[in-house]
């Protein structure tokens, strides 16, 4: 199923994490985005990406410098396909921040289940989501 950004995605969280990583408007980077929750939508093979529990972004490479203007607030997600609902780490994603924050999962990107979803404790059978 393909994950997309919806009104419930809490897109402000990815913008906050980008600012914490000192990503500025106009930059093009390769980065790791940990703990992206993907939740299946009923019946249509699509899912929504939720950024509420997203961890700190790790910038791997700055491919194009920014201009220090404010980050855009709209978020677009392309190419994130997963087999099931869950929490994933998106490793080496292409991220651009001109016009919108655009996260692209391409042939250089690896999507793996997150090691330990936020809120899970040792021995617990359930995950508590914010």
* Series of mean pLDDT values for 10-residue runs along the chain (130 residues): 94 95 94 97 87 96 91 95 96 94 97 73 39
Asked whether residue 118 is assigned to any structural domain, the reply reads no
- Domain assignment present for 126: no
Give CB contacts under 8 A, 24+ apart, made by 89-92.
89/32, 89/33, 89/34, 89/35, 89/36, 89/113, 89/114, 89/115, 90/32, 90/33, 90/34, 90/36, 91/32, 92/30, 92/31, 92/32, 92/60
At 115 the pLDDT is 81
Q: What pLDDT shows up at residue 42? A: 80
Give the count of domains, the chain: 1
Please check whether residue 130 lies inside any domain of the structure.
no
Integer Cα distance of 78 and 91 in angstroms: 14
Residue 120 domain-assigned? no
What SS3 state is found at 92?
Answer: strand
**What pLDDT shows up at residue 119?**
52
122 in any annotated domain? no
What integer pLDDT is reported at residue 121 of this predicted model?
43
Beta bridge partner(s), residue 94: 30, 104
Which pLDDT score is estimated for 116? Answer: 65
Let me know: does 60 contact 29? Beta carbons within 8 Å.
yes
Q: Answer yes or no: is 14 within a domain.
A: yes
pLDDT of residue 99: 87
* Beta pairing, strands 2-4 & 46-50: parallel
The three-point CA angle 110-22-48 to 5° equals 45
Domain that holds residue 81: 2-113
């Amino acid at each position: 199923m393909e994950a997309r950004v919806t009104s419930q995605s809490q897109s402000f969280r990815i913008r906050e994490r980008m600012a914490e990583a000192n990503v500025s408007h106009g930059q093009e980077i390769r980065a790791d985005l940990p703990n992206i929750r993907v939740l299946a939508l009923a019946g249509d093979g699509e899912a929504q990406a939720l950024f509420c529990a997203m961890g700190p972004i790790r910038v791997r490479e700055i491919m194009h410098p920014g201009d220090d203007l404010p980050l855009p607030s709209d978020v677009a997600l392309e190419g994130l396909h997963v087999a099931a609902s869950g929490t994933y780490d998106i490793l080496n994603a292409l991220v651009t921040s001109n016009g919108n924050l655009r996260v692209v999962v391409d042939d250089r990107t690896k999507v793996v289940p997150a090691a330990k979803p936020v809120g899970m404790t040792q021995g617990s059978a359930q995950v508590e989501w914010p």
